[in-house]
Amino acid sequence: AQSVTQLGSHVSVSEGALVLLRCNYSSSVPPYLFWYVQYPNQGLQLLLKYTSAATLVKGINGFEAEFKKSETSFHLTKPSAHMSDAAEYFCAVSSRSGGSYIPTFGRGTSLIVHP
Amino acid sequence: KAGVTQTPRYLIKTRGQQVTLSCSPISGHRSVSWYQQTPGQGLQFLFEYFSETQRNKGNFPGRFSGRQFSNSRSEMNVSTLELGDSALYLCASTGTGTSYEQYFGPGTRLTVT
């Protein structure tokens, strides 16, 4: 079984400040890990993914995440927040089951950016 | 390539009715998955179809069903609607080359009154 825990349902930062969204996972097999972003009334957009290559993964819009196996974590960071980053962020873990990779999602973290 | 499309985008139904939602995957993608998103339960996996066959199924009652056509388009059906079925229903498609990576549509917002 696999699971994802996102610490903090809401994170509030000032524009220009560091963004840190936390994600811890559990998986019985080597996982694939993802961060998705969701804007209001839209679907999920893939920000970045870890697929057992480099542990530091760079994504779109200046986001990056580091896979730490010893800590079972995959935290999302961005050096400087923009107002446009305000959205819901989901961490997901996926491992192969049969012919598919069905992700398990965390509950999401709402990022609030103050001017 | 065009992205994943879902129709309709918004839907209002009454308890007891049934509803059919449609999803067209990215061209060339053969796997389609469906998710229910609610504030209380988050994102929950409904089922996955591949080559017209249901390959995986989540923990939802039999009122939720789906199918996939030969062109990979998929539909999901919910019968005997309940108030708790109000949710955003998301469809995602997956290509064979990167079978772990899902591309999501904009969703269908279903409101049951």
pLDDT at A91: 96
**B95 has a pLDDT exceeding 90:** no
pLDDT digits (tens, 9 = 90+) for B10-39: 999 999 999 999 999 999 999 999 999 999
In chain B, residues with a C-beta closer than 8 Å to the C-beta of A98 are 55-56
pLDDT mean by block of 10 residues, chain A; 115 residues: 90 97 86 92 91 87 93 96 97 80 92 96
Residues 11-30 of A with CB under 8 A from B: none
Whether the CB-CB separation of A72 and A56 falls below 8 Å is answered with no
pLDDT digits (tens, 9 = 90+) for B37-89: 999 889 999 999 999 999 999 999 999 999 999 999 999 999 999 999 999 99
Tokens standing for B96?
């064979």
- β-bridge pairing A56-58 and A32-38: unpaired
- β-bridge pairing B10-13 and B108-112: parallel
pLDDT at B98: 64
In chain A, residues with a C-beta closer than 8 Å to the C-beta of B48 are 100, 102
pLDDT at A27: 79
Q: Do A106 and B42 touch (CB under 8 A)?
A: yes
